[in-house]
Structure 1
Amino acid sequence: MVLLGTSGGPPYWPGSEREGISSAVVVGDRYYLVDAGHGVMRRLRGAELGTRFDTDLDGPLDALAGIFLTHLHSDHVVDLNNILTEGLYNGLQHVERVPVWGPGNRGALPPLFGAGPAPEPVAPQNPTPGTREITDLMVQTYATDFNDRLFDNRKPHPSDLWEAFDVPVPARYLTDPNGNPCPVMDPFTFYEDEHVKVSATLVYHAPVFPALAYRFDTDDGSIVFSGDTGPTPNLIKLATGADVLVHEVIDPAWPRSLFPEPRTDAQEGLYQHLIQAHTLIEDVGPIAQEAGVGTLVLSHMVPGNRPDETWEACGDGFDGQLVIGHDLDVLGIGTAA
């Protein structure tokens, strides 16, 4: 496994060298990308993934076997477009059609926080598109570029390069995105090839919905990515017995410093999202302990410009190994460790 980018949230943190959230699960000569935050293409080059990582007009995407998006917040998907567009000159044309998996359409606008009239939604005809729809819209957005590459450069058509899918969360868990965004459920397997089996579960990142965590089981071992989430029993079920749990974390001192009391409605809304829909430093270790994982790896750290000492307390209550993640860290899994 390679941690490509370990920064959390949309800010480009002052003084930080961390890129946006993204990781690669490497199995043999292939790898699977989890999330696509800012800087992922440069980090893929730096990680020397693929067989053409050091050539000018090819590149690391020649070994890409799949993309898995945990949720559709911009900091997790902002550079998906770079992979699908500029990927034409970074190796994407050398692979079989890449599956792109992620959450489906939310199906309803999130609730309005606070008093006052509701704002006019963006794209009211389809205000919460899912992964398949988003990639279709990207193709439309970059049609000028794609057609130039297709007609002038003789590059492949986008439909020959990838196919996007919405993760098939059982319908009974999708009925109430506002009232019950993380119903208790068992993990389910939705993807399998000769290298990996991938399972998922809903996690709590309200008002974002669906928000997913993923588990990759390989012949070498298993690794779980929490995605963005507050504590939830769903994640513990998914991670039980895994070799590695890659988990997000937030320093609660940061939102308190940003929004001291008294807070406006808007400030209160963001404050509550930050402390409830993410996992606090003091909660990460007990989650890993209950799941019985061997190694806890911190990534998607908020804020992304704090020293390692800030995160050391994440190991409290955990008997295994704690790794404070940094961009381009390489970690072996199970028998490959």
Structure 2
Amino acid sequence: MAPVLPAFAAGEERAASANIVVTLLGTGGPEPTAARFGPATLIQAGGLTLLFDAGRGATIRLYQLGISSGKGIDAVFLTHYHSDHVEGLPDLWMTGYMFGPFGSRSRPLRLWGPSDGKEPSGVARIAKGLAETFSDDTRIREADEHIAAIATEIEAHDFQPDHVVFDEAGVKVTAFTVDHGDLIKPSVGYRVDYGSRSVTLSGDTKFSENLIKFASGTDLLIHEVFAMSPQLAKLPQMKPVAAHHTSPEEAGTVFSRVRPKLAAYSHLVLLGVKPEDVLSRTSSAYQGPVVAGEDLMRFEVGDSVVMKNWNQELRKYPD
């Protein structure tokens, strides 16, 4: 039996609504597992489709949803420059300029990332490095497949955090500094506001007062989490790793102070523990609504936050 291919929606069919739709494309960490792809979150609002981080497999998840990695993505935002947050970017970029409903980008890929104070900035170095690394691919496709040169370009935007870095079609994206460790700077989270709706992404961080400040009043808070078994916690090499992230108990404290309509975990790095263990540990500090995210889990942020799980057999969300 031939595989059922996703139906790709044309870009002009992306209708604006008053709500924000959030899809967790990848909820895992560095581990190369098919169960959880690398960190990537899709946010749709005001007729725009924005991607936050581009971990391993982001392009595959977009394909499953029938969203073009070329025409379908309006902007990409990076939280920081760790490999597990950017390693899906080459695939997204190159697949996006290839011909086909899954690609066919007709303009540069627009990429935002925090400034590291160097020239060129981190995001500009990524853009330049990709262009050099895959110059043979772009040269051949331009000549052989008549791909427009502009479609193979990356338009890099760097910024200083703690203010609005993107404002289009009524959608505002604010980047704010988080604490991923002394050597992992810059590192940011993002808040997306559209009308009266809002979503906040923690990025990779330890417990962060600045995150609590910028997340205040948000409807949906998506937060990273790191948890391991007591046996692994005894290993000295694990202590530096844990020190860069937020424990379930610390995240619970964040949730109790922000008080979102719904809190959701993504970028779950779980070593010898299960998602239900994380939720149990969170409840020691927070008794509000919280879920452990899964790949392709979707949230519609309106007067309330409605969660839907992807039906793999039907290849769609429930009505």
- Tell me the TM-score normalised to structure 1 length: 0.76
User: Higher RCO, 1 or 2 (CA under 8 Å, sep at least 6)?
Assistant: 1
CA contact under 8 A between 2:166 and 2:173: conserved in structure 1? yes
- Note if 1:104 corresponds to 2:115: yes
* Partner in structure 2 of residue 199 of structure 1: 174
Among 24, 28, 38, the alignment partner of 1:3 is 24
Among 121, 127, 147, the alignment partner of 1:135 is 127
Number of residue-to-residue matches in the alignment: 280
CA contact under 8 A between 2:77 and 2:113: conserved in structure 1? yes
Q: Is there any run of 5+ residues in structure 2 with no aligned partner, and where?
A: 1-21, 306-319
Among 79, 82, 104, the alignment partner of 2:88 is 79
Flag the 1:76–1:229 CA change in 2: closer, same or farther, 3 A: same
* Partner in structure 2 of residue 120 of structure 1: none
Flag the 1:196–1:149 CA change in 2: closer, same or farther, 3 A: same
- Note if 1:166 corresponds to 2:136: no
Give SS of 1:326's match.
coil
The Cα of 1:154 is off from its aligned counterpart by: 1.0
Q: Is there any run of 5+ residues in structure 1 with no aligned partner, and where?
A: 50-58, 108-125, 170-186
The separation in 2 between residues aligned to 1:73 and 1:293, in whole angstroms, is 28
Among 145, 155, 162, the alignment partner of 1:153 is 145
The Cα of 1:47 is off from its aligned counterpart by: 2.4
The Cα of 1:281 is off from its aligned counterpart by: 1.2
Among 248, 251, 275, the alignment partner of 2:242 is 275
Aligned residue identity for 2:296 = L
Aligned residue identity for 1:12 = P
Flag the 1:157–1:105 CA change in 2: closer, same or farther, 3 A: farther
Flag the 1:64–1:101 CA change in 2: closer, same or farther, 3 A: same
The Cα of 1:158 is off from its aligned counterpart by: 4.7
The Cα of 1:303 is off from its aligned counterpart by: 2.2
Give SS of 1:236's match.
helix
Greater than 3 Å deviation, 4+ residue runs: 90-98, 158-162, 256-261, 304-307
* Partner in structure 2 of residue 260 of structure 1: 234
The separation in 2 between residues aligned to 1:325 and 1:101, in whole angstroms, is 25
Once superposed, what is the RMSD of the aligned Cα atoms?
Answer: 2.4
The Cα of 1:93 is off from its aligned counterpart by: 3.5
- C-alpha offsets along residues 125-146 of structure 1, whole Å, 9 cap, x if unaligned? x9x9601111111101100001
The Cα of 1:106 is off from its aligned counterpart by: 5.7
CA contact under 8 A between 1:7 and 1:304: conserved in structure 2? no
**Structure with a larger share of its residues in strand:** 2
The Cα of 1:293 is off from its aligned counterpart by: 1.5
Flag the 1:258–1:330 CA change in 2: closer, same or farther, 3 A: same
The Cα of 1:259 is off from its aligned counterpart by: 6.4
* Partner in structure 1 of residue 300 of structure 2: 332
Flag the 1:98–1:129 CA change in 2: closer, same or farther, 3 A: closer
Moved more, 26-35 or 277-286: 26-35
| Superposed counterparts of 1:181-330, under 5 Å | 187-206=162-181, 207-219=183-195, 221-253=197-229, 257-258=231-232, 260=234, 263=236, 267=237, 271-303=238-270, 306-313=273-280, 314-330=282-298
The separation in 1 between residues aligned to 2:47 and 2:151, in whole angstroms, is 24
The Cα of 1:86 is off from its aligned counterpart by: 2.1
Aligned residue identity for 1:32 = L
* Partner in structure 1 of residue 76 of structure 2: 67
Once the two structures are aligned, what percentage of the paired residues are identical? 29
The separation in 2 between residues aligned to 1:163 and 1:305, in whole angstroms, is 41
- Note if 1:36 corresponds to 2:87: no
Aligned residue identity for 2:139 = N
Give SS of 1:310's match.
helix
